[in-house]
Amino acid sequence: MDIVHSTKFILDSGDLSEYRKIKDLAEKNDAQLWGATTNPSLIAKAAGLTEKGKKFTQKEAFDFQKETILEIVKIVPGAVSAEVYADLTTKAEEMVKQGREIATWHQRVVVKLPTTLEGLKARTTLRKEKINTNNTLVFSQQQIFAICLHEHIMQKKYGPIDDLWPPFISPFVGRLDDIGEDGMDLVENGMKIKKLFSHTLPASPLAIWMLEASVRKVEHIRRGILAHTELITAPASALEQWFALTQDEKDQIDSTVYAKDLQKIPYWTPDDNLLKIDNEEDFYQAIEAQKIDITHPLTEKGIVRFVEDWKTILK
Ligand code: G3P
């Protein structure tokens, strides 16, 4: 399994020309564009389909997504995340069905799942089948804790995922900033939450990677690197700015000034009893009893937004 020595960069886009452009730019600056994060609506928008007014059946849209992903895989050397279609009523079984299909596209494709109860149930099944996942739409420390605990239980029972990389967790920074909270606090605290599991697992720290997402500016990138985030995904605009900076300029970025008016997110300490959970049954009981609260209004909002985008391209 790949070992992280420094933060890897991912482009958040569905646009093939952006991948080529950012890859070249990174290389010119002795850096690397490692991976990709996509979702079906990002891909459709990038292809100009929404503007052209072209509409797809669900199957055609899925196939189109696959074609694009297979092109992106040729451009970047690392992981390419592709998202299942899920609305607020989609059941785990349906996500599993799509996830299994997506995982066959290429060895480097990782299945993106929403961080909801159904999404976690789908994670359980896919994880048992050693299909790698990226938990997306993460907005709270309890969600990060739930994913780490879930992975911890899976690793104990079924062993490491045996994939090229460990599974990913994607906290959304910019959307928290948008509501006045300091989104990078979630990433920084999340890195600490991950470490809580080191003492109980032989493979320490817990084999799971933080993928900082919804990045809007170089300050987010700088803070992520300082927090030793394994992965950062950002739109072309932010990566272009970042790769154009010299090392001195990067070091001189004041990465906190932009956040001075944002509300701090204090570290959430899990109860000792939660840390002792070591099986699926107790895990789901703790979630259903809301001892671990995996709900967040922005997760729901994110799913609704995703579905709306997706519908613009469907017949
Ligand atoms: O990586 C997540 C990203 O696609 C969401 O970004 O800017 O819409 O919050 P944004």
Tens of pLDDT, residues 164-206:
899 999 999 999 999 999 999 999 999 999 988 875 555 555 6
Q: What is the pLDDT of residues 221-271, one digit of tens each?
A: 999 999 999 999 999 999 999 999 999 999 999 988 999 999 999 999 999
Of the candidate ranges 55-69, 111-125, 130-144, the one whose mean pLDDT is the lowest: 55-69
175: nearest Cα among 220, 142, 208: 220
User: Mean per-residue pLDDT for 114-139?
Assistant: 97
pLDDT of the residue at 204: 52
Rounded to 5 degrees, φ, ψ at 167 are -65, 160
The rounded Å distance from CA 275 to ligand 1 centre is 31
Q: How many residues does the chain have?
A: 315
Looking at ligand 1, which residue's alpha carbon is closest to its atom 8?
A: 214
Looking at ligand 1, which residue's alpha carbon is closest to its atom 9?
A: 214
User: Mean per-residue pLDDT for 97-119?
Assistant: 97
Q: Is the CB of 12 under 6 A from ligand 1?
A: yes
Rounded to 5 degrees, φ, ψ at 162 are 60, 35
> Which atom of ligand 1 is closest in space to residue 37's alpha carbon?
1
User: Mean per-residue pLDDT for 287-293?
Assistant: 96
User: What DSSP line would sit under 154-178, residue for residue?
Assistant: HHHHH----SSS--EEEEBHHHHHH
The rounded Å distance from CA 273 to ligand 1 centre is 34
pLDDT of the residue at 50: 59
Please report, as a single letter, which amino acid is at residue 193: I
Which pTM does this prediction carry? 0.94
240: nearest Cα among 12, 3, 52: 12
Rounded to 5 degrees, φ, ψ at 116 are -135, 175
Q: Residue 141's Cα: distance from chain center in Å?
A: 14
Q: What's the Cα-to-Cα distance from 109 to each of 55, 105, 133, 263, rounded to whole Å? A: 26, 7, 9, 36
Q: Which residues of 254-290 are buried (b: 16+ CB within 10 A; e: fewer)?
A: ebeebbeebeebeeeebeeebbebeeeebbbebbeee
Catalytic residue set = 112
Q: Is the CB of 38 under 6 A from ligand 1?
A: no
Q: What's the Cα-to-Cα distance from 77 to each of 9, 26, 67, 72, rounded to whole Å? A: 11, 13, 17, 9
Question: Are 214 and 37 a contacting pair, CB within 8 Å?
Answer: no
Please report, as a single letter, which amino acid is at residue 255: S
DSSP tag of 111: E
For residue 3, is pLDDT > 50?
Answer: no
Q: What does the alpha-carbon distance between residue 285 and residue 107 come to, in Å, rounded to a whole number?
A: 34
Neighbours of 200 (CB within 10 A): 13
| Preceding peptide of 171 cis, ω within 30° | no
